Homo-oligomer: A and B are copies of this chain.
């Protein structure tokens, strides 16, 4: 992420924006909430407001730089939009999140949307379960 990238998205290259992006890069394996990002920023000595974090995350989402997910526990989590679309499988015990992509399902979804008379714009699939290590406890 460079100032140039931000300008392409119609956003000024400000310090909070650069830093929010850095935090997401450093944590690219996790799914972070706005609060998580905010805390990471504060811990790193940055002086940002929570409202700015929310604003920046929403702008990044609109610009297609990051993806927002609703895992069902009431708040949004974000991740860098590396590697395009994928779905999630979550452990209801420990909160672990794995990702997957299944072409059969993608295909069927498009057919279902078409049959129902919809022009599909997006979709979200969450599988909830108990992961291996939680099952062996």
Contact = CB atoms under 8 A, between A and B. Distances in A.
A108 interface: yes
B118 A112 contact: no
Given A100-B112, A109-B125, A122-B127, 16 more contacts: A70-B70, A72-B124, A92-B121, A102-B108, A105-B109, A112-B127, A116-B131, A117-B132, A118-B131, A118-B132, A120-B128, A121-B128, A121-B129, A121-B130, A123-B127, A124-B128
Interface string A92-123: 10000010101011001100110011111111
Contacts of A125: 109, 123-126
Interface in A19-78: 70, 72
A100 B121 CA distance: 17
Contacts of A119: 129-130, 135
Closest 8 CB pairs of A and B: A118-B129, A117-B132, A120-B129, A122-B128, A123-B127, A119-B130, A125-B125, A124-B126
Interface residues of A, number: 32
A18 interface: no
A61 to B, nearest CB: 13
21 contacts: A70-B70, A70-B72, A72-B124, A89-B112, A89-B113, A98-B118, A102-B112, A104-B104, A105-B105, A112-B127, A118-B129, A120-B128, A120-B129, A121-B128, A121-B129, A122-B128, A122-B129, A123-B125, A123-B127, A123-B128, A125-B126
